[in-house]
Amino acid sequence: MLKNLKKRKSILLVLSLLLTLSLLACNQEAAVNNEAGDKVEYAQGITEDTIKIGTIAVQSGVLSFIGTPYVAGMESYFNMINENGGVNGRKIELLKKDDEFKPDKAVAAVESLIYDDEVFAIVGQLGTPGVVAAQDIVKEKGIPSVYFGSGAVSLTKAGENFFPVQPNYVYEGKLMSKYAFEEFKADKVVVMYQNDDVGRDGLEGFKDGLKELDKSSMLPSEGEIAFGASDTDFTVQIQKAKEQDPDLIIIYGLGGATSGILKGMEGLGVNKPMLTTYSNADASFLKMASKGAPNVIENLNVMGWLEVNGESLKPLNEAMKKYYPDVPVNAYTMAGWVAGETFVAGVKKAGDNLTWDGYIKAMNNLKFTEGLAPEISYEPGVRQGVTKMAVSKVVKNNGQYEFKVKTAFKEFE
Amino acid sequence: MNMFFQSIMAGLETGSLYALAALGLVLIFRTSDVINFAQGEMAMFSAFIAFKLFDGMKLPYPLAFLGAIVFAILFGFIVERVFIRPASKASLVSKMIITLGLIMIVGGLANALFGIDSHYFRKAIVADNMNIKGVVIQPNAIFIIAITFFIMAGLFYMINKTKMGIAIRATAQDENTAKMMGIPVSKVYSMSWIIATILGAIAGILIAPTTNVSTAMMGEVHLKSFIAAVLGGFGSFYGPVVGGLIIGVLDNLVGMYISLTWKTVIVYGLLILTLIIKPTGIFGKTHRKKV
């Protein structure tokens, strides 16, 4: 009994000694940084030659078709930067977490990146459900979170450490109303919207925009037509839209449902100009949708926030060919690439002041125009991300369908 | 009035797709009381094979269709032999959990082999649409409805009028007694999995032009086919067909005349109500044990 007690005491002693030593070691590390004369105590995830960051995206299961090219695009960009010497001498180390597009897993992944891996920033978290679920943790911790693969409007008001880039659907909807009026000269519009956050945000924005333009009569209440994201039959919706005899049909939904609607329109012979969200401004969507609706597709216009041409896409195409030759280059790849560009632009601007405050301060005055997006800018308290968008039309060129930009990049003012 | 008939026509086509997908489910259930939750994934895999034969190897459509059927025969045989038969002594729940595991395996394999993109696959019949007094009728829709009824009738005939059918019914009723009567029970199980996989392949190929070929193509259809089978009753082959048609048509009529925003809630609310009144489904029979 006595022997046992003595043994326990000595274990306790050893443990306390280890704890004291490790605490001392931590203090010494901080002191070394201070003594280095930089007068900078770097944030977590930063060393003299590396910047550790993390991303969360679906990489397995049925939705991996979104996350796989997206992460490949982002990683290709960082690989290219690292191969050219990194940013201010620091190489970027990207940790990838798979949340399977599930909010609970996204929250766990964000916590793990912040507390276990101690990353400097979260870059390009993908998927509205996960992004919204993890928002409070990111806000509370104050870690910079740059680029979200989401159009959730709440991100624009989430806090100073949030840097959304993609236009949110409410804003895009507003801009669509301006284009409906100015570009399509429409007197009557029908909005077919996906009955979830994506479509409802877009519809809300469109109605807000019409109100501000004093054109609310353009969209009668019968012109608001809902459809489900996983619906397979759109006959009723298309008939209701046709009955209205509109000058323009807006389809506010993602790829699967939108291509289903186009196929339905082809079958029922609907021949009206259409405008859809930037989420569908993607070559793989066009390839898939055009085969099911070869005539109707030429009536389709899409919003776009990326200035995509052979020249601007060259670095991306080359990097993807080198690092991920088997992954398709599409809108998701480009989005991942822009996430990388935006984060690195902030790091370059922050210089050696790589604290969270230093980075946020640098990003607060960012005006980045050298990337795939025409302009990404932030100001203190302003987090709209990209605000300039253009309309492209589907055209047939040598038997192939492609998007052709038909307007200048405009803002909703 | 045109809009009414157009909605009915489209509802019948979509409902037939649900019914087609449900028939394979029902066949396996009738043989072994197991619900194959992987029926949708297996159909997706076969549809991919047809698509690859057609688009990748440039085979004519009928040959690609046949190729997928041949593949389905092998696929059904292998799945039963490798995954189901070794667990023949396991409980029903365990067998159903194996089919849940199959979803992961088949889905993961499809992702790895065929990639993550969606592809358009042509319709079985690509003739011009007919316009009858303002109602557009697509020949492919007629073909889908016809083939659904043809398969339903074929299965009905097989179960009730052939030796194979008697063997299936006997095995379903009591496996041991069936064995004692000289019925090759293992062969019966194998056969029912093969036929169900063929039915899945046909459903997948016919559904593909609507949903596009992708690893996620059967998600919604599989779920609705399951609901169709429950609504019509798992005990017969005409039950799921009627169940599928009811769902397809009701979806459209509620959307057209009541509310598009609330149609899912209304339609499935009505279905739940039906099941409360008739728990075994519309054509299901209640078996009472005599004391």
Lowest mean pLDDT among A64-78, A93-107, A133-147, B170-184: B170-184
When pLDDT is averaged across residues A14-42 and rounded to a whole number, the result is 51
**Residue A198: pLDDT band by 50, 70, 90 thresholds?**
confident
Query: pLDDT, tens digit, for every residue of A270-307?
Result: 999 999 999 888 887 888 889 889 999 999 999 999 88
pLDDT at A308: 79
Backbone torsion region of residue A61, taken as left when φ is above 0, otherwise alpha when ψ lies between -120 and 50, otherwise beta: left
Query: pLDDT, tens digit, for every residue of A365-374?
Result: 899 999 998 8
Backbone torsion region of residue A272, taken as left when φ is above 0, otherwise alpha when ψ lies between -120 and 50, otherwise beta: beta
Q: Is B274 exposed, middle or buried (0-12, 13-18, 19+ CB in 10 A)?
A: middle
Four-way CATH pick for A50-167+309-376: 2.60.120.680, 3.40.50.620, 3.40.50.2300, 3.20.20.100? 3.40.50.2300
**Residue B195: pLDDT band by 50, 70, 90 thresholds?**
very high
Strands (E) in B97-253, as ranges, are 130-132, 135-137
Cα separation values, A144 from A120, A276, A360, Å: 8, 32, 7
Q: Does residue B257 sit within a domain?
A: no
Q: How far apart are CA A30 and CA A18, in angstroms?
A: 19
Q: Does residue B229 sit within a domain?
A: no
Lowest mean pLDDT among A126-135, B162-171, B234-243, B282-291: B282-291
CB B32 within 8 A of CB B190: no
Q: Is the fold of A50-167+309-376 the same as that of A169-304+390-405? A: yes
Spans of all domains in chain A: 50-167+309-376, 169-304+390-405
Question: Is A24 a residue whose pLDDT tops 90?
Answer: no
- Tell me which chain B residues have a C-beta less than 8 angstroms from the C-beta of A73: none
When pLDDT is averaged across residues A69-85 and rounded to a whole number, the result is 96
A214-242 burial code (b ≥16 CB/10 A, e <16):
ebeebbeeebbbbbbebbbbbbbbbbbbb
- Tell me which chain A residues have a C-beta less than 8 angstroms from the C-beta of B9: 235
Q: How far apart are CA A61 and CA A83, in angstroms?
A: 32
Closest partner CB to B255 (pick from A68, A236, A288): A236
**Residue B289: pLDDT band by 50, 70, 90 thresholds?**
low
- Tell me which chain B residues have a C-beta less than 8 angstroms from the C-beta of A226: 260-261
A230 with B212: Cβ contact below 8 A: no
- Residues β-bridged to residue A379: A382
Query: pLDDT, tens digit, for every residue of A227-270?
Result: 998 888 899 999 999 999 999 999 999 888 899 999 999 988 89
DSSP labels, B178-223: HHHTT--HHHHHHHHHHHHHHHHHHHHHHHHHHH-BSTTTTHHHHH
Question: Is A34 a residue whose pLDDT tops 50?
Answer: no
User: What DSSP designation does A365 have?
Assistant: T
- Which has more pLDDT, A175 or B171? A175
pLDDT at A32: 37
Q: Does residue B114 sit within a domain?
A: yes
**Residue A28: pLDDT band by 50, 70, 90 thresholds?**
very low
- Tell me which chain A residues have a C-beta less than 8 angstroms from the C-beta of B10: 233, 235-236
Q: How far apart are CA B220 and CA B101, in angstroms?
A: 19
When pLDDT is averaged across residues B222-235 and rounded to a whole number, the result is 89
pLDDT at B61: 95
Nearest in space to B107 (alpha carbons), one of B215, B218, B222, B223: B215
Q: Considering chain A, what percentage of its residues have pLDDT values greater than 90?
A: 66
pLDDT at B198: 95
B17 with A232: Cβ contact below 8 A: yes
* Mean pLDDT of chain A, nearest integer: 88
Q: How far apart are CA A382 and CA A157, in angstroms?
A: 8
**Residue A27: pLDDT band by 50, 70, 90 thresholds?**
very low
Domains identified in chain B, total number: 1
- Tell me which chain B residues have a C-beta less than 8 angstroms from the C-beta of A267: 129, 136, 138
Closest partner CB to A236 (pick from B7, B116, B207): B7
Query: What residue type is assigned to position A388 of the chain?
Result: K
**Residue B248: pLDDT band by 50, 70, 90 thresholds?**
very high
Q: Does residue B45 sit within a domain?
A: yes
B221 with A232: Cβ contact below 8 A: yes
Q: What are the structure tokens assigned to B149, written together?
A: 């009824």
When pLDDT is averaged across residues A47-58 and rounded to a whole number, the result is 95
Which value, to the nearest 10 degrees, does the dihedral of the CA atoms of residues B139, A241, A183, A392 take? -40
Q: How far apart are CA A376 and CA A388, in angstroms?
A: 9
Q: What are the structure tokens assigned to A315, written together?
A: 């670095």
Q: Does residue B88 sit within a domain?
A: yes
Closest partner CB to B6 (pick from A62, A232, A235): A235
When pLDDT is averaged across residues B127-143 and rounded to a whole number, the result is 88
Q: What are the structure tokens assigned to A95, written together?
A: 């940790």
A-B contacts (CB, under 8 Å): 101
User: In the sheet where A50-56 sits, what is the strand order?
Assistant: A91-97, A50-56, A121-126, A145-149, A162-163
Q: Does residue B72 sit within a domain?
A: yes
- Tell me which chain B residues have a C-beta less than 8 angstroms from the C-beta of A269: 129, 136
When pLDDT is averaged across residues A90-111 and rounded to a whole number, the result is 94
Question: Is B117 a residue whose pLDDT tops 80?
Answer: no
Nearest CA in chain A to B103: A61
Which chain B residues touch A if contact means CB-CB below 8 Å? 3, 6-7, 9-11, 13-14, 17, 107-108, 111, 115-120, 122, 129, 136, 138, 207, 209-212, 214-216, 219-221, 248, 251-252, 255-256, 260-261, 264
Question: Is B216 a residue whose pLDDT tops 50?
Answer: yes
A239 touches chain B (CB under 8 A): yes
Q: What are the structure tokens assigned to A30, written together?
A: 């901080």
CB A229 within 8 A of CB A197: no
Question: Is B120 a residue whose pLDDT tops 70?
Answer: yes
For the domain spanning A169-304+390-405, the CATH number is: 3.40.50.2300
A233 touches chain B (CB under 8 A): yes
Q: Does residue B258 sit within a domain?
A: no
Q: How far apart are CA A67 and CA A318, in angstroms?
A: 20
Nearest CA in chain B to A200: B261
Q: What are the structure tokens assigned to A29, written together?
A: 């590390």
Closest partner CB to A267 (pick from B136, B212, B214): B136
A236 with B215: Cβ contact below 8 A: no
Closest partner CB to A291 (pick from B9, B115, B120): B120
* Interface test mutation site (partner A, options B116, B128, B206, max chain A beta carbons within 10 A): B116
Domain region containing B193 = 15-218
Q: How far apart are CA B99 and CA B101, in angstroms?
A: 5
Query: pLDDT, tens digit, for every residue of A295-346?
Result: 999 999 999 998 877 788 899 999 999 999 988 888 899 999 999 999 999 9
- Angstroms from A329 CA to nearest CA on chain B: 11
How many C-alpha atoms does B12 have within 13 Å on its Cβ side? 17
Q: Does residue B253 sit within a domain?
A: no
pLDDT at A30: 38
A283 touches chain B (CB under 8 A): no
Q: How far apart are CA A374 and CA A392, in angstroms?
A: 15
Query: pLDDT, tens digit, for every residue of A202-237?
Result: 999 999 999 999 999 999 999 999 999 888 889 999
